[in-house]
Amino acid sequence: MKSILVTGGAGFIGSHTCLVLLENGLDIFVIDSFINSSQISIEKVCLVLKNVNVDVESKIHLIKGDIKVKSDIEKVFQISQKLNKKIEAVIHFAGLKSVSDSILEPISYWENNVLGTINLCRTMEKFDCKNLVFSSSATVYKAKSNRLLNENDLCEPINPYGHTKLTVERILHHLFNSKKSEWRIACLRYFNPVGAHESGYIGENPLGKIYNIYPQITRVAMGKQSEIKIFGSDWQTKDGTGVRDYIHVMDLAEGHLSALIYLTEEKPQFITINLGTGIGTSVLEFIRIFEKVNNVEVPFSFENRRIGDNASVVADNSLAKSILNWLPTRNIEDICKDGWNWQLKNPNGY
Ligand code: NAD
Ligand code: WQD
């Protein structure tokens, strides 16, 4: 395996994964429309690698394009052919990811996440590339607060975003069933990706309104927002606040490399794998740990529960650990330290 296409590679998880792929000697082609990112993240990835004397100039090819437009994806495969670097696998991050926006703009979400993926699969078939890692989400599950979620648990999304992710999983499963001897497909269900690369060069750079807890914690610590509004203090959890499985983005990025290696070494298959830590952290714990590790204050107040929230969403990650030869190695303290380092070095983002 030498050349990989990364759709949405300029985004949060994509940029960290590009870094891991390049560090491991792979050539990458990135297609991104920059609807939620900019090319600066890729320039920063190159900077991190140059600092450790890895030559990346000839190994990364960034192409601005939209996966909703099939010819844009075809162009990337054509460029790879001209360079005599056959794309052997795709990691597919490109997608819209806001639960709230998906309720306001459902058609954009279906068009981008589902039509975009259909275009990608058609193009992959055309260019005889049948290894695919897809970014799915724990949001597909019907949450069960009393225990860890495993891959066989019931899926029942409650918002348009989650439906688009589950629909793509099903399309990919049908595609695999139609040509079982050819496709290798892994759907990775991420839990709550947070943190940043330890260098502070790349991190999460949200554009538009921020809904997730972690970028808000760093904003409050920076004084850019007055406080965190904690949604609910009466959940059936250790301290009454919501519990989530926060996974360091670098552990997640490494999980993609492990999934690629696993897929290409094993027989053709369709597989769904949770990527989480298996450890639940409450909102209050998260805030307290962030304050302690970084010696900052993060004021908060309590609000009503947010519609659609659950008490606890934590991964059973035993499948990933057993088959991918992968283990998350960074803890919640590392998440707080690295995310804060990124925020301090990039107070206004990229
Ligand atoms: P992100 O928005 O930072 O990255 C997505 C990238 O895709 C962006 O660079 C964006 O510009 C690009 N993109 C979007 N639509 C495109 C299109 N039509 N054509 C080309 N490029 C396009 O998001 P992220 O947090 O890095 O998430 C990556 C993937 O993981 C997404 O598919 C998301 O749904 C999924 N995911 C994210 C989370 C999370 O909490 N961050 C959790 C579970 C799953
Ligand atoms: C985490 C905890 C909130 C904001 C979302 C998507 C999911 C996935 C990851 C893409 C919860 C609490 C939050 C705030 C708060 N993304 N909270 N005050 O909802 O677990 O998951 O992002 O696939 O699909 O749904 O993440 O960061 O919004 O919330 O108290 O201002 O923080 O109630 O307990 P969530 P989150």
Residue 15 lies in a domain: yes
Residue 12 lies in a domain: yes
Q: Which atom of ligand 1 is nearest to the CA of 13?
A: 26
Ligand 1, CB within 6 Å, residue ranges = 8, 10-14, 31-37, 66-68, 93-97, 112, 116, 135, 137, 190, 193
The alpha carbon of 316 and the centre of ligand 1 are apart by a number of angstroms equal to: 23
DSSP codes joined into one string, 23-71: HTT-EEEEEE--TT--THHHHHHHHHHHHTT---TTTEEEEE--TTSHH
The alpha carbon of 11 and the centre of ligand 1 are apart by a number of angstroms equal to: 6
pLDDT tens-place string over residues 1-24 = 799 999 999 999 999 999 999 999
Region 177-182: mean pLDDT is 92
Which of 190, 209, 261, 242 has its CA nearest to residue 4? 261
Q: What percent of the chain has pLDDT over 70?
A: 100
Residue 180 has pLDDT above 90, yes or no: no
Q: Which range of residues forms the domain containing residue 146? A: 3-198+246-278
Q: Which atom of ligand 2 is nearest to the CA of 303?
A: 30
Q: What is the DSSP letter of 200?
A: S
Residue from 5, 36, 155, 165 whose mutation best tests the ligand 1 pocket (most atoms within 8 A of CB): 36
Residue 144 has pLDDT above 90, yes or no: no
Residue 81 lies in a domain: yes
Residue 57 has pLDDT above 90, yes or no: no
- The whole-number pLDDT of residue 143 equals 80
What does the angle CA 241 – CA 318 – CA 146 come to, to the nearest 5 degrees?
A: 30
Residue 113 lies in a domain: yes
Looking at the 3D structure of the chain, how many domains does it have?
1
- The whole-number pLDDT of residue 52 equals 82
Ligand 2, CB within 6 Å, residue ranges = 97, 99, 137, 139, 192, 211-213, 216, 228-231, 242, 244, 283, 306, 309, 313
pLDDT tens-place string over residues 290-334 = 999 999 999 999 999 998 899 999 999 999 999 999 999 999 999
Residue 220 lies in a domain: no
Per-chain mean pLDDT for the chain: 96
φ, ψ for residue 76 (rounded to 5)? Answer: -65, -45
The alpha carbon of 19 and the centre of ligand 2 are apart by a number of angstroms equal to: 26
CATH number of the domain residue 192 falls in: 3.40.50.720
Q: Quick one: how far is CA 91 from the chain centroid?
A: 11
- The whole-number pLDDT of residue 51 equals 86
- The whole-number pLDDT of residue 67 equals 98
Residue 343 has pLDDT above 90, yes or no: yes
Q: Which of the residues 109, 141, 161, 190 is marked catalytic?
A: 161
Residue 112 has pLDDT above 80, yes or no: yes
- The whole-number pLDDT of residue 207 equals 86
Ligand found nearest the CA of 135: 1
Which pTM does this prediction carry? Answer: 0.98
User: Cβ(315)–Cβ(278) under 8 Å?
Assistant: yes
Confidence at 347, pLDDT banded by 50, 70, 90: very high
Residue 21 lies in a domain: yes
Burial (CB count within 10 angstroms: exposed 0-12, middle 13-18, buried 19+), residue 168 = buried
Tell me the C-alpha distance between 288 and 303, whole Å.
18
User: Cβ(171)–Cβ(222) under 8 Å?
Assistant: no
Residue 29 lies in a domain: yes
pLDDT tens-place string over residues 73-108 = 999 999 999 999 999 999 999 999 999 999 999 999
Query: Is residue 211 flagged as an active site residue?
Result: no
Residue 189 lies in a domain: yes
Q: What percent of the chain has pLDDT over 90?
A: 92
